Structure 1
C-alpha cells in the first residue's frame, strides 16, 4: 500500500503544482484553457494514436470486458439515478449526477497511471474503457438531458451526438491508430520521432492542466459533492468489480485494469456539459475537486486491492 501510494504521488504532485500555479494566479485561466486545448488536441492525441497504432482491433475489442464494464457502469448509473430521484431531483439533474458516478478521468490521468502500475499491456483494455466512456456515456447524457426536458429524441439531438463524437480527438486518434495498424502501415522514423516528442508532453501537460483547472472549481453544494465523490471512488469500482468478476467474468488481468480505472476521480468534461446545459454545475465542480483530492488516498487502496486478485 505504501509503495503504491509513493508511486502515485508524482502524478498528484504534478496536479498540485498546476493547482498552485493557477491558484496563485501565476497561471491564468486563459493559460489553463490554452494548455488544456494543446494537451487534448495535440499531445494526448499523439499519445493515443501511438498506442492504438500498435494494437489490432482484436486486441482492443474484448467482448467480455466490454459488456462486463458496461454492466458495472449501468449498476452505478442506476444507483446514482435512484438516489437522485429519491432526493427529488429532476431527470436532467439525475443524469448529470449519474455521469459523475460513472465517468472518471481516464484519458488525462488513467492511461499513464495504469501503464505505470500494470505495464503496457494495460493499454488495450484502457483504450476500450475510454471508448465506452466517450461513445456510450457521452452520448447517453445528451439524450437523457433532452428527454428530461421534454424535447424527445429528434434528428437535431442525434446529430448533436454524432457531431460531438466526430469532433472528439480521442475517438479520432483511436480510430486512426487502429486503421494504421489494420493496414500494417509503417511509421517512418521522422514521423515516429515527431509523435514521440509530442506524446511526451501529454502526461505532464495533462496532469498540470488538471490541477490548474481545479483552481477555478468551487466547493458549493459540498454535501451532494461528497456523495458524488463517494459514488465515483467507492461505489463505481465496486459495481464494476461485480460486472467483470461476477456478471460477466473476464480475464483476471483485464478485470484488474477495469476496476482500477473505475476508481479514478470524476472527469473534468462533465463540468463542461453541466455548464453548457445549465444543470448543477456547482455540485459537479465540487465533485471534481473533492474526488481528485480524495483519490490521492483512495486510488492506491483500490490498486493495492486489485493487484492482489
Structure 2
C-alpha cells in the first residue's frame, strides 16, 4: 500500500505542478506548446530507443500479451455501441468523445507510472504494448468518428502517414530492431540517449498538467460519468480477466492492468477538434479522468498487490 502511494504521488504532484505553472502563466503559453512538441518528438523517442535497445526480451509471450489488450478494446467498443444503441442514445459528437475517453490512454502517465513501479522490465513491456496499440486505437477511434460524426477530414493516406510518422511508434520500432539484431550503440551515443531520456518523463507529466481545463467540467453530466466509469473502472477489470483467460501472469498482467487504468490522452482533444467531436466534453473527460485516476489506480493496484 505505502509503496504504491509513494510511486503514484510524485507523478501526480508533477501533473499538479504543471497546472500550477499554467495558472501563473510561467513560463508562457508558447513555451509549453514548444516543450510538448519537443518531448513528443525528441525526448520520448530517445527514452524508448534507449530502454528497448538494451532490454532483455526473453520469456515474453508477446502474442497473447498484445491479444489481451486488443480483445479488451473490441469488447469495450461493442459494449459502448450497444449501450448507446439500446439504452442511452447520446448525440453523435458526444458519443465520439465518450468513446475516445474510454479507449485512449495517456502515454506520458503510462510510461512514468510503469517506470516508477516496475522499472526497466516494465518499460519494455509497455513499449511493446504501445507499438501495436497506438495504431489500433487510432484505427478504432477514426472508425467511430466515420460512423457517428460523418467527418471526411482525414483520408486513408493521411491516416497511414500519421501512423508511420508517429515518433513513439518509430522509437519503439528502432529500439526493438537494435535489440533484435544485437546492434550495440556507440557508447557516447547511448549515453546521450540516456541523458535525453531522463528528461522525458518529468517534462511529459508537466505537459499533462498544463493541458488540464477545470472550467469545462461543470458543463458535462451523464456523458462524463460514463466515460470515467468505463475507463477507470470497467477497462482495467475487463483487461485483467481477458489476460488471465489467455494465461498472462506476473509482471505482464500488471502492466496490462495499469495500461487499462490510464486516463485518456490529451491527443483525444486534437482528434475531436479535427473530426467534429464534442470539444468541451472531451476536455472535461481528459481533466476528470486524469485527476481521479490517482484514486482508481491506487485502489486497483492495492487489490492486485499480492501479485507484486
TM-score by length of 1: 0.90
Q: In 2 relative to 1, CA 57–90 (structure 1 residues): closer, same or farther, beyond 3 Å?
A: farther
> What is the aligned counterpart of 1:177 among 175, 178, 191?
175
CA distance in 2, matches of 1:48, 1:103: 20
CA distance in 2, matches of 1:9, 1:119: 16
CA distance in 1, matches of 2:81, 2:285: 16
Which residue of structure 1 aligns with residue 197 of structure 2?
199
Tell me the matched-pair count: 305
Deviation at 1:133, TM superposition (A): 2.7
Which residue of structure 1 aligns with residue 88 of structure 2?
87
Q: In 2 relative to 1, CA 221–53 (structure 1 residues): closer, same or farther, beyond 3 Å?
A: same
CA distance in 2, matches of 1:91, 1:82: 14
- For residues 141-220 of structure 1, the aligned pairs below 5 Å read 141-149=141-149, 157-215=155-213, 218-219=216-217, 220=219
- For residues 266-307 of structure 1, the C-alpha deviation after alignment (integer angstroms, 9 at most, x for no partner) is 111111111111211111110111111111211111122223
- Give the 3-state SS of the residue equivalent to 1:218 in structure 2: helix
- Give the 3-state SS of the residue equivalent to 1:201 in structure 2: helix
Matched-pair contact (CA < 8 Å) for 1:81–1:95: no
CA distance in 1, matches of 2:214, 2:193: 31
- For residues 2-49 of structure 1, the C-alpha deviation after alignment (integer angstroms, 9 at most, x for no partner) is 431232111100111000110222233322211110110011110011
CA distance in 1, matches of 2:247, 2:302: 20
Two-structure CA RMSD over aligned residues (Å): 2.4
Unmatched tracts of structure 1, length 5 or more: none
Q: In 2 relative to 1, CA 196–160 (structure 1 residues): closer, same or farther, beyond 3 Å?
A: same
- For residues 111-152 of structure 1, the C-alpha deviation after alignment (integer angstroms, 9 at most, x for no partner) is 121122123211232123212331101122123322445579
Which residue of structure 2 aligns with residue 125 of structure 1?
125
Which residue of structure 2 aligns with residue 223 of structure 1?
222
Q: In 2 relative to 1, CA 118–145 (structure 1 residues): closer, same or farther, beyond 3 Å?
A: same
CA distance in 1, matches of 2:255, 2:46: 22
